[in-house]
């Protein structure tokens, strides 16, 4: 009985190890797309782009994954085929994320955001001024 429990436990550990190693080696479309720049004029990371050009590249990544290519091989393939414009720099990644979250902003939204910031600064400095004035009067 104890022998069967040990044997089952070892088989379970082996299965868990094999499954974990397979998932580590698997590449997803979004993993590879997160390292590439969008092919059109928008400053998005390919991972965030849902335009037709970005979707074509994602489909191409999917077919390369189906062929068994690794993430590095896919990135190298795109850079070789499309040039350095396909390579994503850290600055582009930051700029793309900012663009993604602010592209729906129009003039009114920006005016409200800036006005809110200015009001917040006046309130902050006003509170500091009042606190310092009270402290100096007590001395």
This prediction's pTM: 0.54
Query: How many whole angstroms separate alpha carbon 92 and alpha carbon 76?
Result: 18
Which CA distances in Å does 13 have to 2, 9, 24, 90, 130?
17, 6, 17, 40, 66
Q: What is the pLDDT of residues 83-135, one digit of tens each?
A: 888 888 787 778 777 776 766 777 888 899 999 999 999 999 999 999 999 99
Element (H, E) at 34: none
Cα torsion through 12, 14, 20, 26, rounded to 10: -120
């Amino acid at each position: 009985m104890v022998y069967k429990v040990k044997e089952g436990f070892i088989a379970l550990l082996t299965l868990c190890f094999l499954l974990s190693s397979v998932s580590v080696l698997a590449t997803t479309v979004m993993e590879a797309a997160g390292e590439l720049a969008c092919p059109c004029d928008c400053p998005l990371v390919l991972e965030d782009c849902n335009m037709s050009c970005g979707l074509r590249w994602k489909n191409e990544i999917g077919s390369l994954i189906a062929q068994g290519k690794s993430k590095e091989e896919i990135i190298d393939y795109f850079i070789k085929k499309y040039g350095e414009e396909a390579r994503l720099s850290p600055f582009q990644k930051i700029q793309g994320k900012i663009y993604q979250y602010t592209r729906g902003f129009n003039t009114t939204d920006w005016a409200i955001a800036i006005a809110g910031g200015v009001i917040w600064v006046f309130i902050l400095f006003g509170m500091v001024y009042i606190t310092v004035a009270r402290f100096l009067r007590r001395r």
